[in-house]
Amino acid sequence: YQQNPKTYAIVKQLLAEGNAGELEKYFGSRMEFGTAGLRAAMGAGISHMNDLTIIQTTQGFCRYLEKNFSDLKKRGVVIGFDARAHLSSGGSSKRFARLAANTFISQGVPVYLFSDIIPTPFVPYTVTHLKLCAGIMVTASHNPKQDNGYKVYWENGAQIISPHDKGISQAIEENQEPWPQAWDDKLIDSSPLLHDPYAMVNKEYFKDIQKQCFYRNINKETNLKFVHTSVHGVGHKFVQLAFKAFDLSPPFAVPEQKDPDPDFPTVKYPNPEEGKGVLTLSFALAEKDGARIILANDPDADRLAVAEKQESGEWKVFSGNELGALLGWWIFTCWKNNSRDTRAIKDVYMLSSTVSSKILRAIALKEGFHFEETLTGFKWMGNRAKQLMDQGKAVLFAFEEAIGYMCCPAVLDKDGVSAAVITAEMASFLATRNLSLSQQLKAVYDEYGFHITKASYFICHDPKVIQQLFDNLRNFDGKNTYPKSCGRFKVSGIRDLTTGYDSSQPDQKAILPTSKSSQMITFTFANGGVATMRTSGTEPKIKYYSELCAPPGNSDVEQLKKELDELVNALEKHFFEPEKNKLQRKTE
C-alpha cells in the first residue's frame, strides 16, 4: 500500500538498510486497544498511530457498534480532534478524525465531525446531548508531542469499560483489510451523512455550564485578575467563552502558549501536573499584570492545575487533592445554599477514585450526603455517575488526584473548561470575604479534619521485577501472608485489588472490581494512614499514593506532615526496596 508516501518512505528506507531491529519495532506487535482506547507514537507500522492503524481500528469499532446497536444508522457517532500533528509521518489528529469519519460514512452511519479543534469533554457532551451511540476523540492529552491517541465513549456518555475494550479489540483483529475507498476522505465532504456539531455545541455547552453559576453579580464586579494558559493546546478560546458565560472579565492569556502548536515549544512536557516548570511563563505574566491566580489546562483541556500567589510573594501550586477539596466544598455549599434542586440530601452523591484523597468522605460524613470511591480512572467515575443519575440521584462532583474534575453533570468525564471557570467564581466569591484559596483550604481542613497526601513513583522497565516485588508483598512472612508492619508502622488492614482480597470485609472479599492484569495493593495503618501501591497502565512505573487523615480538631499540621514523611520513607525502604530491585526514582 503506497497510500501514505511518508510512512511508505520510512519503511522503504529501513528495508534498504536491512534494519531488522527497527522493522521489528514498527511491525512486531499491534498497538493494544484497551479501555483508554489507543495511545502511541505517530509513525509507520502497526505499533504506531498512522492512517492504516486508524482505518483498521475504526473498521473494528464500526463492526462492534453495528453488533450492539440496531439503530446505529439512525443515531450515529461523534468525532472530535485536538491540534496534534507529526510532520515526518504525515499523521495529525485532524487527518485521523477525517479517516475515521470516512470509515463510518462508508457504512451508512451518520457522523457528527467537529470542523475544528475542541476540548476532549465536548465529545462526551455531544454523545449525551444528541443521544448518539458512541464518541471518538483523537488526542494524546498531555503526552509528549510525538504521541497521539484514540479515546472512545459509549452511548451513556462515559468512557468505555470492560468488556467493550475486548470486544472492540477482537473486531479490529477481524477487520484489518482496508475497505474500498478507505483512504479517500474527500468523499465525506459531499455526503449527506456528515454533520458539523461545532456551532450547536459551542452554544449549548456554555448554556449548560451556567447552571453551575451562582454568583453572577459578584463575577461582574470582582477585581480579581486571572492568568490562563492552554499550554499550546486547544483550551484558549473555550475558557475565554466560559468566563464570558459566567460574566467574568476574560483571563489574561499567556501569549506564547495560547495558540495551538503541535511542537509544544516552550515546555519540556506539556503536562501541568509537572507543576512549576510548565507554569514559568504564567508566573511571569501574572507578575506583570498583577494577577493572583493562574489557571492551566493540559493540551486537550480536560484537566486543570491552579496556582495562587501567597502573602509571602511565593506561588503555591495546588495539588489535585487540594483543588478537589476546595471544589468539593464549594460545589456542596452552592448546592446547599442556592440550588433549586428539591432532592433530599440523602440523594446527593460525590465520587473520587480510590487513590485520591478521602476528604470528600469526611465532608460527606459530616454533612449527610453520600460519598463513593471507584477504581482509578475517570471511566469508572463516569459510568458510576450515570448509574446513580439513572436512579434519580444527584451526582454533584467527582475528582481524581491527577488534576481531573467533573463539576457539571452534562459531561460524564473530567472537564478542565468548566472546572476553570467554577474555580474562578469560587475565588471571586472568597475575595469578597477577604479569603484566598489557600486560606479557604485551611478552613476546609479545620472543619473536616486535615488530609495530607504524598504521591510519587519509581521507574522499572523489567516486568519480572515488578511481579516479584508484588509477589513478595503477598508472601511477606511465609506463604500467603501480607506484611503486619512497615518499619515502625503497624498495618491494620489490607485490600488487594489484583487478587480480590480485603481483610476489612466480613467475607474477606473486596467490593470494588478486581483486575488480575494490573497490580494494586492498599495498606491501612493503625495511625490513620493509608498507602496504595499500583502499576501504571500506560507507563513503566510503580506508583504510590499515601494519605494521613486526622479527625477535626487536630491542628498540628507540621507533626502530621512529619509522620506522613516517615511513613513514606518506611514504605519505600521496606516495600519497594529500590536498591535491591534497581528501581529508578522520580526525578524532580
| 321-448 is classed CATH 3.10.180.10 | no
Active site residue 456: no
What is the residue extent of each domain of the chain? 5-195, 206-316, 321-448, 450-585
Strands 489-496, 501-502: parallel, antiparallel or unpaired by DSSP?
antiparallel
Q: What are phi and psi of 86, to 5 degrees?
A: -135, 105
CB atoms within 10 A of CB 568: 18
**Residues sharing a CB contact under 8 Å with residue 218, sequence separation 6 or more, in sequence order:** 425, 428, 429, 432
**Residues sharing a CB contact under 8 Å with residue 197, sequence separation 6 or more, in sequence order:** 78, 112, 114, 126, 130
Contact 504, 495 (CB under 8 A): yes
Residue 449, sorted as left (phi over 0), alpha (psi -120 to 50) or beta, turns out to be left
Angle at 127 between CA 109 and CA 350, to 5 degrees: 155
Separation of alpha carbons 274 and 272, rounded Å: 5
Q: Please give the CATH number for the structural domain made up of 450-585.
A: 3.30.310.50
Q: Is the dihedral of CA 585, 269, 83, 114 positive or negative?
A: positive
Among the listed residues 141, 282, 352, 357, the single catalytic one is 141
Q: Given this model, what pLDDT does residue 536 score?
A: 84
Say which CATH architecture domain 5-195 belongs to.
Answer: 3-Layer(aba) Sandwich (3.40)
Q: Given this model, what pLDDT does residue 1 score?
A: 52
Overall fold of domain 206-316: Alpha-D-Glucose-1,6-Bisphosphate; Chain A, domain 3 (3.40.120)
Cα distances from 159 to residues 96, 134, 515, in angstroms, run: 19, 9, 18
Residue segments in the chain with a per-residue pLDDT below the cut of 50: none
Contact 226, 253 (CB under 8 A): no
Domain 321-448 shares a fold with domain 450-585: no
* pLDDT tens digits along 284-302: 999 999 999 999 999 999 9
- For the chain, how long is the longest CA-to-CA vector? 72
Q: Given this model, what pLDDT does residue 540 score?
A: 85
The residue type of 541 is K
